[in-house]
Amino acid sequence: MKTSKQNVLAIPLIIWFGLLVGVPLVYVVVLSFLSRDNLGNIILQFTLENYEKILDPIYLRVFVNSFLLAVLTGLLTLLIGYPVAYITAKLAPKQKNMVIGLIMLPFWISSLLRVYGWIILLGNTGLINNVLLALNLVDKPLPLMYKFSTTLIGTVYMLIPFMIIAVYNSVDKLDQSLLEASYDLGASKWKTFFNIVLPLTIPGIAGGFTLVFIPALGLYFISDLLGGGQTIFLGNLINTLVNRGRNRPLAAAFSVGMILLVVLIISVYSRIAKDKGEGLFR
């Protein structure tokens, strides 16, 4: 029988992680309610000013940009990744392992390198424009860089393995007899997919969406390198406020806003997962 006496060993661990994770997060929340003087120093005075600023249309726009980017990244990774996961799950075991390995491999490759690769491909003197020019399909380079869509390409590319693995786990667990029963009863392939496969893999989809959504909110170096600061996202704004603006309370308020977005998506996810009796973060 495990008693609370044995919990003593856990106390140093709790203190360590509490200090390094819990306390900084609480500190940020506190800071977001504090003011600063003209030099950017923080003064101990309660204010709601930082949160009022967030609601300013200019800043609110940044929230909308980030939210849009994260949602679109989720949808696109799903659209492109679902077939990949589905096809992979149907492969023979040996091929399956190889394909999964190939999907996971980019994770271990420097994320900066992978973003940089897209600059090499999409730049004005990049590979894609070189090919298009050489084939005389265009007479001047297409402007592919520094757009919202360029950032989107970057986040989709970086995060798609998360989506594929989450969906794959779901498809792989699917009870084959259900599909056979559906075919036997005369349902077409598409009908079986939409009525049986898709609903049963919703936990995987929701899990993948969560795993993609969270980092998409904050990977500011992607929008920095590919988006060129044309569209401002939360990550870039927080970064600028901390480094150049020296407005730390406002940066803290934006961080709190960002964390709230994450809490929102996780609570949606856990509701879906609970309904289906599964969980990613069990």
Give the nearer residue to other proteins in terms of CB position, either 205 or 252: 252
Q: How far is the CB of 266 from other proteins (least distance, A)?
A: 7
Give the separation between CA 48 and CA 53, rounded to whole angstroms: 9
Q: How far is the CB of 6 from other proteins (least distance, A)?
A: 5
- Which residue blocks in 9-92 are alpha helix, DSSP H? 10-17, 23-31, 49-54, 57-89
Within a 10 A sphere around the Cβ of 68, how many other Cβ atoms? Answer: 14
Q: How far is the CB of 115 from other proteins (least distance, A)?
A: 8
Give the separation between CA 26 and CA 49, rounded to whole angstroms: 19
Q: How far is the CB of 7 from other proteins (least distance, A)?
A: 5
The one-character DSSP state at 230 is: S
User: Can you read off the two tokens belonging to residue 224?
Assistant: 């920095």
Give the nearer residue to other proteins in terms of CB position, either 119 or 202: 119
Report the run of H or E that residue 46 belongs to, with start and end: strand 42-46
Give the nearer residue to other proteins in terms of CB position, either 77 or 203: 77
Q: How far is the CB of 277 from other proteins (least distance, A)?
A: 18
Give the separation between CA 130 and CA 86, rounded to whole angstroms: 35
Give the nearer residue to other proteins in terms of CB position, either 200 or 215: 215
Give the nearer residue to other proteins in terms of CB position, either 4 or 177: 4
Within 13 Å, how many C-alpha atoms sit on residue 88's CB side?
25
